[in-house]
């Protein structure tokens, strides 16, 4: 999240500081994650919890980070500028609340020839480009930017600070910028991790009815130019989808996945979090993607495998019932296990 504030302003919002070895006058450009932070950024280091199935934060990852300042609970990280707090999640919650309450208040900016249903709402500071069309019960949140000639069908919700590019179409009931599913696991249950990023949608994008695209934890969930998305697709936080990719209905893409340019993703596909998918990849419907995919691959199945391999395996599985009927138990038992296995395999592929 872009903030451009001195560190001392952020410190003033916190009440659980243990120590700080940083000049409080230093300017902080962004609050962001450990892996994407630069020299002018504040990186929030959060543990997902003792009972979490997620991997703990790596000390090596902390040491390799180029973040200007770490917001962290542990002061034992050597040679790093740290704002050490008693509870990093509690501190992050305080910062998120402070920034929300103190965001700049601007007037709406509505371009020429914008068509709006009387029940549509444009909130404080939002901008809507010329020639756009907002249907019944559309909501455009605070400080959103909607490009020119955008069509928002009835019931679309574009939540605070999200961006929609020129000539894009979003169909009825879609929600852009809902919170990502981020929680810390504790003995007292799940504690919500603030989601302070945005969704950035490119130009000439079409998003189907009832899709949900979550805002990023810190930075941006990105939908590239020309992406086409069918109904009821879920895009989780921090996902990045390359230009001109097509995604069919009921597909779910888990957090921090990166998808290349010009991919074709079938219906009811499930893609694991933190997966990297290359350019021009084709994924057959109902596939489960558990690993990274290289440019140009075509895959199918659960877990996904090369398409030709999946076809051969499917044919073999279909032959199994008839094969079992043709093998006499007495004859099979007379052969050695290796001979019996060879017989089965030969008949399976005939």
Any idea which residues carry the catalytic annotation?
Answer: 237
Nearest to 2 by CA among 25, 28, 23, 33: 28
SS3 1: coil
Nearest-angstrom CA–CA distance, 144 and 333? 73
Nearest-angstrom CA–CA distance, 339 and 58? 51
Nearest-angstrom CA–CA distance, 312 and 116? 54
CB atoms within 10 A of CB 246: 16
List the structure tokens of 199: 């969704």
Cβ proximity of 83 and 73 under 8 Å? no
List the structure tokens of 106: 């601007």
Nearest to 202 by CA among 255, 160, 244: 244
CB atoms within 10 A of CB 92: 22
């Amino acid at each position: 999240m872009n903030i451009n504030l001195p560190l001392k302003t952020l410190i003033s919002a916190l009440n659980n500081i243990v120590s700080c070895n940083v000049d409080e006058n230093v300017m902080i450009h962004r609050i962001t994650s450990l892996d994407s932070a630069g020299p002018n950024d504040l990186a929030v280091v959060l543990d997902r919890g003792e009972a979490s199935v997620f991997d703990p934060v790596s000390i090596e990852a902390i040491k390799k980070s180029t973040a200007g300042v770490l917001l962290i609970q542990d002061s034992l990280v050597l040679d790093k500028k740290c704002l050490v707090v008693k509870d990093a999640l509690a501190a992050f919650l305080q910062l998120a609340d402070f920034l929300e309450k103190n965001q700049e208040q601007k007037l709406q900016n509505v371009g020429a020839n914008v068509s709006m249903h009387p029940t549509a709402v444009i909130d404080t500071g939002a901008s809507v480009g010329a020639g756009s069309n907002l249907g019944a019960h559309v909501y455009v949140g605070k400080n959103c930017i909607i490009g020119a000639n955008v069509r928002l069908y009835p019931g679309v919700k574009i939540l605070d600070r999200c961006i929609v590019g020129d000539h894009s179409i979003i169909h009825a009931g879609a929600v852009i910028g809902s919170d990502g599913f981020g929680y810390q696991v504790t003995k007292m249950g799940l504690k919500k991790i603030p989601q302070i990023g945005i969704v950035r949608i490119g130009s000439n994008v079409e998003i189907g009815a009832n899709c949900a695209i979550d805002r990023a934890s810190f930075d941006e969930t990105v939908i590239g130019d020309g992406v086409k998305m069918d109904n009821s697709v879920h895009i989780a936080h921090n996902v990045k989808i390359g230009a001109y990719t097509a995604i069919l209905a009921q597909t779910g893409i888990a957090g921090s996945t990166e998808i290349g340019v010009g991919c074709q993703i079938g219906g009811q596909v499930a893609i694991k979090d933190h997966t990297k998918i290359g350019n021009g990849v084709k994924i057959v419907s109902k596939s489960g993607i558990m690993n990274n995919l290289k440019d140009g691959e075509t895959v199918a199945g659960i877990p996904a495998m090369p398409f030709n391999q999946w076809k051969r395996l499917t044919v073999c599985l279909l032959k199994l019932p008839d094969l079992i009927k043709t093998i006499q138990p007495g004859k099979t038992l007379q052969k050695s296990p290796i001979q019996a296995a060879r017989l089965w395999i030969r008949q399976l592929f005939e």
